[in-house]
Amino acid sequence: MGGPAPVDLGGSTLPRVGWTFIVLYTLAFIGTCLVLIAPLLVTLAVKVEALLGARAAPGGLALVTAVGALVAMVGNPFFGRMSDRTTSRLGMRRPWMVVGLVGGTVGVLIVAIAPSIPIVLVGWCVAQLFFNALLAVQIAVLPDQVPSAQRGVVSGVLGVCVPVASVAGTFVVQLFAPNELAMFLAPCAIGGFFILLFAAVLKDRRLDPGERPPWSIREFFRTFYLDPRRNRDFAWAFTSRFLFVLAYAFLATYQAYYLLSRFGTAPAAVAGQVFLGTLVQSALVVVASLLGGRISDRSGRRKVFVLAAAIVYGVALFVIAIASDFDGFLVGMAIGGLGYGVYVAVDLALVADVLPDRSTAAKNLGVFNIAGALPFSIAPGVAAVVLALTNGNYAALYGVAAACALLAAGAILPVRRTR
């Protein structure tokens, strides 16, 4: 496992990371995305519909995903702070990778065998809590290990993880259908292998017990908060990410029901259409993310890439909103892949550059990750209102999503500490 990795609060004197590290880090991050995304894209919706029926399924899914997102919102910064205080011989991040993977897999197992919606809710909350512990510490590896001059490239590579995991997740779920237990647990087994491999080889940071930050009730509550007046750049980046993920949450959470309602897709064909749409989008995300991160590093600019990417994603959602057939939907997904790929690649590098205090990187990134969890809690409520007011019009819902993406573009403009 090696000795402790050097820590550089500014990120400018860290040694450059090699491609072996980048590949293993990327595979582990794909694994984390896989265990989180596979249920959201297909299996959770299928499970809820099997228990409640088609008419009641959207409301049941909204309840489960909303409460789970609230748990994720708390768990991410909390476990980030815990890892910042961990003095284990195994390092600061590694122990929580293992705990997060095991605990989250138990939660997924509970969902898979649940006989009722309350049990599904309990299982999904357990999964969200522990998988977000895993997510918090994995993201903290970026400022821990990667110098600022490479963060665009590494963030760009990490940007392909969500689409790759989306394609892999829908493919694996489809492969094991109709075995419900295998549909839920296969992504955990595949993702878990790469997560544990990276944890085993990571030259993790180690914290001397004498350097552990003080702990108090006040410090506990500060885990979930950063003063926006003192950290304006971070606050604007948080706002932009929140709005962008809110737009994505509408698409990801209600994609299956959109296809059923708008195009009359047969229930048995939904998983295949979701897979195809995800595949098209993901191919563009991979290209856009890799190129966007590299060009951002070379140009030394972040904001213009984030701004343009959010606008493109908004346009894509408008295309989906007005699509008259499945081919139109695929065009929107392809355009969305371009915007999404550049946004997630460069936005993460931008945030790493404007962190208020890199000595508590996992905690601060955990707070930032609330912007990625909270929208999944809010989106179902907003969607329910929009669909109620428009008599189930999913085009109107995706019009609202497009507006959120355009607002995300505007929110990045006030950032000052990076170009």
Between vectors from CA 66 to CA 233 and to CA 98, what angle results, nearest 5°? 75
Q: Is residue 2 one of the residues assigned to a domain?
A: no
Does 417 fall in a domain?
no
Cα 43 from Cα 111, distance rounded (Å): 10
Residue 225 dihedral angles phi and psi, to the nearest 5°: -150, 140
User: Do the domain assignments include residue 358?
Assistant: yes
**Tokens 């605990």 sit at which residue?**
103
| Total number of domains constituting the chain | 1
Is 78 part of any domain? yes
Rounded (10°) angle between helices 180-201 and 94-113: 180
CB-CB contact of 338 with 319 (8 Å): no
Contact 323, 343 (CB under 8 A): no
Per-residue pLDDT of the chain (419 residues; tens, 9 = 90+): 333 333 344 455 677 888 899 999 999 999 999 998 888 877 888 888 888 887 788 788 888 888 888 888 788 888 887 888 888 888 889 999 999 999 999 999 999 999 999 999 999 999 999 998 999 889 888 888 888 778 778 877 887 787 788 778 888 887 887 788 888 999 999 999 999 999 999 988 887 777 776 666 666 656 555 666 677 877 888 889 899 999 998 888 788 788 887 777 777 777 788 888 888 888 888 888 888 877 877 777 778 888 899 999 999 999 998 888 888 999 999 999 999 888 887 887 787 777 666 556 666 676 777 777 778 778 878 888 888 898 888 889 999 999 999 999 988 888 776 66
The token pair that represents 337 in the structure block: 């892949």
Residue 152 domain flag: yes
398 in Cβ contact with 293 (< 8 Å):
no
Distance CA 264, CA 274 (A): 14
Domain span at residue 325 reads 19-206+219-411
CATH number of the domain that residue 316 is part of:
1.20.1250.20
pTM over 0.85: no
For residue 108, give the amino acid letter: V
Domain assignment present for residue 84? The answer is: yes
- Residue 126's nearest CA partner among 109, 107, 108 is 107
**101 within domain boundaries:** yes
Cβ proximity of 250 and 400 under 8 Å: yes
Q: What is the rounded CA–CA span in Å between residue 374 and residue 7?
A: 30
Q: Name the one residue in this structure whose structure tokens are 């789970």.
A: 68
C-alpha–C-alpha distance, residues 283 and 281, integer Å? 6
The answer to whether residue 330 is domain-embedded is yes
Residue keyed to tokens 């929110």 = 411
Rounded Cα gap, residues 89 and 208, in angstroms: 10
Nearest 5°: the CA angle 397, 402, 406 is 150
DSSP label of 207 = -
